[in-house]
A = this chain, B = another copy of it.
Amino acid sequence: MAKENTTAYIILGLLEHEDLSGYDIKKKIDLMISHFWEVGYGQIYPTLKVLEESGRIVKRPGETYKGPERNLYSITESGRTALTEWLKIPEIKDHTRYEILLKLFFGSMLSVEENLKRIELYREKHLENQKTIQFFKQNLQQVLSEDEDHLYYYLTVLFGEKVYEAYLSWTEEAKELLENFQKEKGPL
């Protein structure tokens, strides 16, 4: 992850569509991208600064019709080039880290009940996620033919759906295995 600054490319990618403020960028990421890549303000604002200094984007004051000041950023030709180059090179790898698996891996230090509870909570969380992403999916399906961007967006949503499905299916099987283990252990 280091020395990549993926955040910069996310910003460039969003600005390629339309001019946005830092705040807008955060909102867009939260809405469409955060399922598979989260970004905080603490990364967005400094990255905007760096991108501006290197000429990938330009800042101008936004119409501050009401509320606080607003800066709007636009992508430059140089920014567009950088983005396309990044898109063309193959991605290195997924970066997945599951704290729950770490804690389960050392699960024998806790009671079976505690591990079952952990799995149950995980299940509940991802049932929520599943609902959310299916809502997104349905909305997207209705506008899928409108333009190419929707199709690519749809692919990422589909990915999320499949993965949540896998999580949920795992929780069921894991629960069963642990419960059987508990039963066998008990009477002996």
Binding site for B on A (CB under 8 A): 1, 6, 9-10, 13, 16, 32-33, 36-38, 83-84, 86-88, 90-110, 114-115, 118, 121, 147-149, 151-156, 158-159, 162-163, 165-167, 169-170, 173-174, 177-178, 181
Contact = CB atoms under 8 A, between A and B. Distances in A.
19 contacts: A6-B97, A6-B102, A13-B106, A13-B109, A33-B105, A36-B102, A87-B106, A88-B110, A90-B118, A91-B102, A101-B155, A105-B152, A106-B152, A107-B155, A108-B147, A154-B177, A155-B177, A158-B173, A163-B170
A150 B3 CA distance: 38
A156 B13 contact: no
State the copy count for this chain: 2
B101 A118 contact: no
Given A33-B105, A83-B109, A87-B103, 7 more contacts: A6-B102, A83-B106, A88-B114, A93-B99, A107-B148, A158-B170, A158-B177
Nearest to A145: B184
Contacts of A169: 162
